[in-house]
Amino acid sequence: MSENGSKLIELPGSITVRDLAQRMEASPIQIIKILMSNGVMANINQLIDFDTASIVASEMGFETKSEVYEITEEQEPGEMPFWRQLLAKEDASRLVDRAPVVTILGHVDHGKTTLLDAIRHTNVAGGEAGGITQHIGAYQVEHKGKAITFLDTPGHAAFTSMRSRGAQGADIVVLVVAANDGVMPQTREAIAHAKAARVPIIVAMNKIDRPDANPDFTKKQLSESGLVPDDWDGDTIVVPVSAKQKQGIEDLLEAILLVADNIDIKANPDGKLFGTVIEAKVERAKGVVVNMLVYNGTLEPGDIIVAGRAYGRIRAMFDFRGRKLKKAGPSTPVQLMGMNEVPSAGDIFLKFSTEREARALVEERALAIQQHTAAAPKATLEELFAKVQSGEVHELRLVVKADVQGSLEPIISSLNELGKGDIKINILHAEAGNISESDIMLATASHAIVVGFNVQADAAARRNAEAEGVSIRLYNIIYRLTEDIEKAMKGLLEPEIKENTLGTGVVLATFKISKVGAIAGCRVTSGEFRRNAKVRLRREGTIVFEGEFSSLKHEKEDVREVRNGFECGAGFRNYNDFAVGDQIECYLLERATG
Ligand code: GDP
């Protein structure tokens, strides 16, 4: 307690919303709301600086003080990731060397994926080139007899702050900078994340094979961004590589080991077990599959662990080659089965001695979240619109996710166009990638709805959206998306409609009948066709028509339905261009429940 009775907390130079909430024992949503009322749009994984965090803390009755770190010359102050705090509690005399954990960051298209592939193919531990049978979010290679663990989280990872998480979860960041393109926005962002997480950076200056590569200019830009190359008397190692031609890979690995030697990369294999979730999903045959990285201790099948709101006893454990593992020590990536739910990427996992304790913790966490969000207002598109109309809200807030950056741009520009009228459209967050838990958190806190184009909502996001009453609307045709939003703004939005497929069929022959038009002779190949249902015609996968039947006949008789395996003659209203081989889908539009 400080003198005036308020509580005192120490804050680092920057902190994620989630961690700030944890430190104040508050809900992340509460923090996001306070940030919003101060004009800062943040999601749960976002890093906010000390000053911003202090404002939030003081609104919540805390007094703040700057956390003191021992800062080495080359590193700026930043947040100490939770796992490092745990590691710091280990008995120093029991610590042994472990493989450095490396993450590759950099601007899009600068060659991260190609570099990860090149490293994997040249140096997979044990010399089995290309011997990786499955992707588990990380792999290990060997260089001069020493192991290095690479985090291999794909670019489309389902969490927003992958770059921040990646930096936080690693010992070393390899920053890929294309020598023909130089330092770009995401390069700068990666540098900031690495610095905030106090993780040393090695630059892989990629694409040196290209005729337009300009190493000197790139080095100059790097220097301006605070990474002065060692051959320019700075202390950042810059390794020229060509990921495509697999050149410079050994030098890069050498540099990683060199940097690793300079920082203590240790853990206690017999100590407290903890690690982090790299990614997790549900697979039909295996159930919940979780990819994890062990930081400390040794993980074994039969262990009971908790990660986020999931717990379970480990049934089976595999390495990145798909081989069964009996033990996984520090810096080992593993895939495991046996958890009851899908935890979130970045969740720290801990071991418990009984399932009862593990369950109790998870229930406690779930309850805390429930209590904080029970009063959260619902945000469906219809309700939002009602508020817009009644003058309560003057803008429609959206979180937009799309499969690729290329599809985001036209969506955003059409939405902005729509928002030029009386009702504004406020796009709080737009990004390529699946809809994640943090998107829902942001939508909840800001009464927004989430729209997705060619993406899905991951399990944690769906669960969260259901609990919070946040509307997720998914589209795979851009104009449908904009049309819906436009309708919502005009008050014409119909309740969310779900498509229920009745049957499919194929066109076997086409006929022209005078005064009637074109008729398709077809066979129903699954389910059934119904005369009063909707139809869709696809040619080589592309939709060429959507509408209704004008006629449906079986052996010259008008019929109401045709079942699987039977042939029929079908006419579509206002459509005459059938072709043999066209696929027909017959479906009903139903009002979605819930
Ligand atoms: P990412 O978005 O950073 O993962 O980039 P990718 O690994 O997908 O690479 C983007 C593009 O650059 C691809 O077309 C690669 O083939 C190409 N590329 C990557 N590395 C090199 C390289 O060393 N030389 C050349 N010429 N092209 C490269």
| Cα–Cα distance, 233 to 528 (Å, whole number) | 74
Distance between Cα 141 and ligand 1 center (Å): 21
- The candidate with the shortest Cα–Cα distance to 474, out of 341, 344, 592, is 592
| Cα–Cα distance, 263 to 341 (Å, whole number) | 36
Q: Is 387 exposed, middle or buried (0-12, 13-18, 19+ CB in 10 A)?
A: middle
Distance between Cα 372 and ligand 1 center (Å): 45
Distance between Cα 107 and ligand 1 center (Å): 11
* CATH code for the domain defined by 500-591: 2.40.30.10
Give the per-residue pLDDT at 457.
Answer: 84
- The candidate with the shortest Cα–Cα distance to 178, out of 114, 253, 234, 107, is 107
| Confidence category of residue 158, pLDDT binned at 50, 70, 90 | very low
Domain 274-372 has CATH 2.40.30.10: yes
Distance between Cα 75 and ligand 1 center (Å): 29
| Confidence category of residue 5, pLDDT binned at 50, 70, 90 | low
| Beta strands in 461-516, from DSSP E residues, in sequence order | 472-475, 497-513
- DSSP class of residue 247 equals B
Residue 67 pLDDT greater than 80, yes or no: no
| Beta strands in 485-541, from DSSP E residues, in sequence order | 497-513, 517-530, 534-539
| Cα–Cα distance, 585 to 546 (Å, whole number) | 9
| Cα–Cα distance, 408 to 405 (Å, whole number) | 5
| Cα–Cα distance, 276 to 307 (Å, whole number) | 8
Distance between Cα 244 and ligand 1 center (Å): 7
User: What residue spans of 75-176 are helical by DSSP H?
Assistant: 82-88, 112-123, 162-169
End-to-end distance of the chain based on CA atoms, in angstroms?
47
Give the per-residue pLDDT at 274.
Answer: 92
- The candidate with the shortest Cα–Cα distance to 368, out of 303, 281, 308, 282, is 308
Cβ–ligand 1 distance for 207 under 6 Å, the answer yes
> Comparing 590 with 161, which gets the higher pLDDT?
590
- Supply the residue whose CA is at minimum distance from atom 24 of ligand 1: 207
Give the per-residue pLDDT at 78.
Answer: 44
Cβ–ligand 1 distance for 247 under 6 Å, the answer no
Residue 338 pLDDT greater than 80, yes or no: yes
Three-class SS of residue 117? helix
Query: Ligand 1: which atom is nearest the Cα of residue 247?
Result: 23
pLDDT, tens digit (0-9, with 9 covering 90-100), for 189-246: 778 777 767 789 999 999 999 999 999 999 999 998 889 999 999 999 999 999 999 9
Residue 314 pLDDT greater than 80, yes or no: yes
Query: Ligand 1: which atom is nearest the Cα of residue 107?
Result: 3
Rounded to the nearest angstrom, the gap between the alpha carbon of residue 364 and the centroid of all alpha carbons in its chain is: 26
Give me the percent of the chain exceeding a pLDDT of 70. Answer: 84
| Cα–Cα distance, 229 to 219 (Å, whole number) | 7
Distance between Cα 243 and ligand 1 center (Å): 7
Domain coordinates of the chain in residue numbers? Answer: 7-68, 99-264, 274-372, 376-494, 500-591
Cβ–ligand 1 distance for 112 under 6 Å, the answer yes
pLDDT, tens digit (0-9, with 9 covering 90-100), for 506-530: 999 998 888 778 999 999 999 999 9
- The candidate with the shortest Cα–Cα distance to 165, out of 48, 277, 41, is 277
Rounded to the nearest integer, the mean pLDDT of the chain is: 82
443-450: average pLDDT: 78
Distance between Cα 240 and ligand 1 center (Å): 14
| Confidence category of residue 164, pLDDT binned at 50, 70, 90 | low
| Confidence category of residue 110, pLDDT binned at 50, 70, 90 | very high
28-32, 76-80, 143-147: lowest mean pLDDT where?
76-80
Return the structure tokens found at 366.
């779930």
- DSSP class of residue 364 equals H
Cβ–ligand 1 distance for 113 under 6 Å, the answer yes
Specify the DSSP element, H or E, that contains 280: strand 274-283
- The candidate with the shortest Cα–Cα distance to 583, out of 528, 525, 530, 527, is 525
pLDDT, tens digit (0-9, with 9 covering 90-100), for 248-279: 999 999 999 999 998 889 999 999 999 998 88
Return the structure tokens found at 554.
């079986």
| Confidence category of residue 43, pLDDT binned at 50, 70, 90 | confident
- The candidate with the shortest Cα–Cα distance to 103, out of 186, 176, 187, 182, is 176
Pairing of β 449-453 and β 395-402: parallel
The CA R_g of the chain, rounded to the nearest whole Å, is 28
Beta bridge partners of 575: 572
- Supply the residue whose CA is at minimum distance from atom 2 of ligand 1: 109
Give the per-residue pLDDT at 335.
Answer: 95
317-324: average pLDDT: 89
Cβ–ligand 1 distance for 109 under 6 Å, the answer yes
Give the per-residue pLDDT at 404.
Answer: 79
70-75: average pLDDT: 32
Same CATH topology for 376-494 and 500-591?
Answer: no
Number of H helices, E strands in the chain: 15, 30
Q: Is 266 exposed, middle or buried (0-12, 13-18, 19+ CB in 10 A)?
A: middle
- DSSP class of residue 384 equals H
Specify the DSSP element, H or E, that contains 19: helix 17-24
> Comparing 297 with 3, which gets the higher pLDDT?
297
Cβ–ligand 1 distance for 244 under 6 Å, the answer yes
CATH architecture, domain 376-494? 3-Layer(aba) Sandwich (3.40)
Distance between Cα 178 and ligand 1 center (Å): 8
- Supply the residue whose CA is at minimum distance from atom 19 of ligand 1: 111
Domain 99-264 homologous superfamily, CATH: P-loop containing nucleotide triphosphate hydrolases (3.40.50.300)
Give the per-residue pLDDT at 76.
Answer: 39
- Supply the residue whose CA is at minimum distance from atom 11 of ligand 1: 109
Cβ–ligand 1 distance for 206 under 6 Å, the answer yes
Give me the percent of the chain exceeding a pLDDT of 90. Answer: 36
Q: Which of 103, 109, 151, 189 to mutate to test the pocket of ligand 1 (most atoms within 8 A of CB)?
A: 109
Cβ–ligand 1 distance for 106 under 6 Å, the answer yes
The winner for highest mean pLDDT among 28-32, 46-50, 555-559 is 555-559
